[in-house]
Structure 1
Amino acid sequence: MAEFLKPKNTNPRGIPEAPFIDKVENVIKNPDEEFEKVMSMFQERLQQYKYMELSKRQQLGDLKIKIPDIEKNLDIINYINEKKNDEDEEDKIIETNYELNDTLYTRASIDAENLDSVFLWLGADVMLEYPLDEAVELLNTRLNSNQTQLKLVKEDLEFLKENITTMEVNTARLYNWDVERRRNLKSAEEGTKNLKI
């Protein structure tokens, strides 16, 4: 019975494929002893899939925040480079608003001609200064990596959705099979009692 849940196939990230029950009798040989164990194992696997799905959804949410942030940073650096290479001296000044804290903004004038580097948040309260070209290279690398990760997370979520459905169907089939089996046993016992009377 435990062998039935051993994964025959996995997706590329190692998530096991859920088996499908054709006939419950192939999984449960001795119903009185095995049913509760098998049902428990199937419910546990279903919960594992749901936990993985929750984790992947959180990952998806994080990536949907990170990717636009990276794209916005690349846009800003590209804008700085455009201003830096502009022929008109007046166009090399960038007027902008920036956030000091959650509720306080101020204006700044930035001389793009003398701007050779930017500071990037790397996470965990770490900020480093990068020359403009290195910043673009780093951000493009991170963007490509996050876009690839986004694609994989979406694939995993689709795979998990299919397997959750399979395990829900399996669990329902097991439960219905046991209800019918018990009903048949009860009918047989009542038929035997009626014969004795």
Structure 2
Amino acid sequence: MAEEKQEKREEKENRKPHSGIPEAIFLEDVDSFMSKPENESGAAVLQKLDEQLNKYRFMDANLQQKKKRLTTQIPDIKKTLDTVQFLKSRQGSDESFTSNYLLSDNMYTTAEIKPSSVVYLWLGANVMMEYSIDEACSLLTKNLASAKKTLAQVQEDLNFIRDQTTTTEVNMARVYNWYVKQRRTANKTTSGTK
């Protein structure tokens, strides 16, 4: 029990915060930020912020795709695990049973299944592998836990990206307002000297 807590603590400490997504810093004082030498032009700063916003949107789109894939994958893993567990419960019996199985999209067929100590699992990339029923249960349980953990991390990252996107949008609005104000002030001073 104590070892598990220690492992989780170490895993949390070693994990990159939010999968390496950079944090957007809120600009408290736009005047002091814009007075820095690297921020000589308001248009250049706006362009940098726009690039940062586009990066966040790109990351958001990728994470949304990953979330969609995981949300369809998890029920498939559960269904396969349930099937393997059913086969495990029938392992000691000599009686065969009839089952309907998916042959292709929207096409089912019937099969008579005899008790067996092995199952074949699709691993992906057109690869199927033979496992003992206990190994298959262990593998599927591990894969299910991993997929759920990954889905939770993806959701956490999506929430973080939404916050960073909002912060960047607010920063852009504040810099834009500062830039417009500076241009108006410059126009007033040039028109007042004529």
2:177 equivalent in structure 1: 176
Judge conservation of contact 1:63–1:150 (CA < 8 Å) in 2.
Answer: yes
2:90 equivalent in structure 1: 83
How far off its partner does 1:11 sit? 2.2
Q: Aligned runs of 1:9-88 on 2, under 5 Å? A: 11-29=17-35, 33-85=40-92
SS, match of residue 84 in structure 1: coil
2:98 equivalent in structure 1: 95
Pairwise CA RMSD:
2.1
Query: Using a 3 Å threshold, how does the CA distance of structure 1 residues 47 and 123 change in structure 2: closer, same or farther?
Result: same
Flag the structure with larger Rg: 1
1:161 equivalent in structure 2: 162
Measured in 2, the distance between the counterparts of 1:135 and 1:32 equals 58
What letter corresponds to residue 73 of structure 2 in structure 1?
K
Relative to the length of structure 1, the TM-score reads 0.82
How far off its partner does 1:78 sit? 1.2
How far off its partner does 1:93 sit? 2.8
Judge conservation of contact 2:63–2:158 (CA < 8 Å) in 1.
Answer: yes
Q: How many residues align?
A: 178
Q: Which runs of 5+ in 1 are unaligned?
A: 1-9
SS, match of residue 90 in structure 2: helix
What letter corresponds to residue 47 of structure 1 in structure 2?
N
SS, match of residue 166 in structure 1: helix
Measured in 2, the distance between the counterparts of 1:106 and 1:47 equals 48
Q: Is residue 122 of structure 1 aligned with residue 129 of structure 2?
A: no
How far off its partner does 1:85 sit? 4.0
User: Identity over aligned residues, as a percent?
Assistant: 39
Judge conservation of contact 1:11–1:17 (CA < 8 Å) in 2.
Answer: no
How far off its partner does 1:107 sit? 1.0
Query: Using a 3 Å threshold, how does the CA distance of structure 1 residues 133 and 32 change in structure 2: closer, same or farther?
Result: closer
Measured in 1, the distance between the counterparts of 2:173 and 2:127 equals 50
**Higher deviation after alignment, 41-50 or 180-189:** 180-189
2:135 equivalent in structure 1: 134
Relative to the length of structure 2, the TM-score reads 0.83
